[in-house]
Structure 1
Amino acid sequence: MLKKERERCKMIENERSLNSLDQEVITKFSFLEIQEATAHFNPSSKIDEGDYGSTYKGVLRHTQVVIKMCSDTSQYYQEVHIASMLRHPNLVTLIGVCQEAWGLIYEYLPNGNLEDRLICKDNTAPLSWQTRIQICKDTCAALIFLHSFEPHGIAHGDLTPQNILLDANFVAKLSNFRLRDAPLSSHTTGDFSAESDVYSFGGVLLRLLIGQATLNLDEILQNALDEDELDDALDRTAGQWPLEQVTELARLALSCCEIDISNRLDLQSEVWPVLERIQTQCEPASSSDRSSGDTQQSSSLDRSPGEEHPRPPSYFLCPIKHDIMEDPVVAVDGYTYEAEAIRVWLIDHNTSPMTNLRLENSNLLPNRIVRSAIQEWLQSNES
């Protein structure tokens, strides 16, 4: 009886916490919309299934999204709480929720997860070594942000190639945090620590270098270094790695995978400077490859072929003006618009520009979550 009462109190607390986030205007979707977006949870729409529940891809309000249906309330409320707080260009963006069905709606990243790209699933092109170096930097940047988050650092807890997603420009974004019912503090022991994330990061580097999903990648790489045969161990589908830089990257990966926690590198002070230097040294080679047409796809620095700038996510665009929004607001129809554009529309209309249905009122609420995501995206692409 006492357990049930605690669970009921926890549920009330979670609901109050979520409702308090209304001031940030987390977009709400109905269960009917979720059903329609997934063709009533058709198996063909399913992306993944795990202990937390099932994940689907679908189209909500003319936007392609990923819909995560949580299997329990604690998972749902904690993920909403964390995802709504954490805004970074290398973390997957939470777009909205379906509270009645414990659903979480995230941005859709068209290049899928890193694991699928490394094994060239669906006959996709292999990742070039330039793109792999950029993925290392993107992943490191996200972890540094998480570990330094105030007031307590946050550990990802499950950093694997499956949980590193790639957008249209092959920018890496972390997803699927391994959540638990505990204070948001990562600098402890076990899987939920900054040190364990560093170890996992080293494992990701090993996969990017070697390509294979085999055991003892650290031993394979260490033996290759000891015998001066590193080139033979590298994934040759990535192209011709620059030997000096890839040797430094290999030693970096092995240092992150040290069994002794005290010997593992610090991401911000020791890993990040090395990654920046390696990428800077490799930029002339990248430019040469691009001019000769040898690169197989663009990194977040290279952009997409023929593009000067990366494409913004579709939900950054105003449905009326089709430009990136500067002041996004939510209308009563549930859609997000550029404030000036929807106000001009409402002067002569009492219907939704998206559904053509009559609007109950002309109230507009600032969508601070989308605005924050847009600002971060713009800042990361200023150069």
Structure 2
Amino acid sequence: MQISRFRHAGMTVTDHEVRVALAHDEPDGATISVFAREVVAAERTGLDQPWLLFLQGGPGGKGPRPASPASWLTRALKDHRVLLLDQRGTGRSAPITRQTLPRVGWPELQAEHLAHFRADSIVADAEVLRRELVGEESAWHVLGQSYGGFCALTYLSQAPEFLASVAITGGLPPLTAPAEEVYRISYDRVAEKNARFFDTFPQDRDRVTAVVQHLRTHDVRLPTGEQLSPERFLTIGVELGATSGFDPLHYLLDEAFVPGSDTPVLSETFLAGVHAVVSYATRPLFPVMHEPSYGQGEATRWAADRVRRERPDFDPQLDEPLLTGEMTYPFQLRQDPALADLADAADLLAERTDWPALYDLEALAANDVPVAAAIYHDDMYVVREHSLETARRVRGLRTWVTNEFEHDGLRQSADVLDRLLAMNAGRL
């Protein structure tokens, strides 16, 4: 259902909202609202253009808000009508936050509710939108960034007949690997990023050490009032995997301490910057659903935390501890005020064993939909080893392996999408 339309920055933007089943296998049960934003170049308003569904990274990432066309969106709007989906649980699609989840009931009911917020349900929501906007039997194109690529592989498994083509950037998931196997490789990649960062900015090794030692002996509070622990501070390493991650992290550490103080004092500028990185107030679904997004038939049991205990180099008690990456840990759910009310449900999800399969291996092996994927060689978040293995198991999938970009290459250059579209069209 169309709910509003406006023109801005050379785009015609139309908002849509549909009601869908919370559990798609229970169509007569509870429903939720799903929101999506249609964008078309203003000069092409009213023209018949192919649809391109954009699946955002996450889990827990809402669709982009097009204040002005990003490079990839500018390229997409040349020949597509783009739909920016707020995946369920994000943005305006039944958002999951500390303000909304407690309304569901006690933690067991919350966990059962959240079990319907994975890729399989997101794809089923997309199918409702496709039928509503494109037509019952019409196909559309899909672009998946990061976790959006995970969803795209689920889409290829569940409803390939309604896909005209699929482009994936930094998001070919492991099809069968359990979460702990994912993290064993991920920690290697994070260690490599640490080494490169401290090689680029040698003085920051001492700065990180000094901050950690200070936090071990002082009660330091973030702008929101909670204590900043050493282990939570170390999660600023999540920034190491972005194209511009090294520089902002360096300049953050550069102002860690108040100059000229008789005793070390962490600056308010630094603490505000740390809070901006480590707080999940704007995307609370991510730490709750990150590991369950790998769950298929077995419990994830806080895999990143378990694997970290196998890695002496990531022991937060070391004199010179390493920064961590995109991993999520139980302590974050307790130490972040935005997550505290979701912590018990997250613990229950971590022990859940009946996760259904997200990928149909036979359907993927028989795939005949054009699929092109950018695999970033140095990707810290979605490791190339699993992506390459998945590419081998999807019939007809064409890969572009590059170290020209980091995980966020799609945002950095329109050339990424342009190349993938050309690959799917057989021009490259």
TM-score by length of 2: 0.25
Higher relative contact order (CA 8 A, sep 6+): 2
- TM-score, with structure 1 as normaliser: 0.27
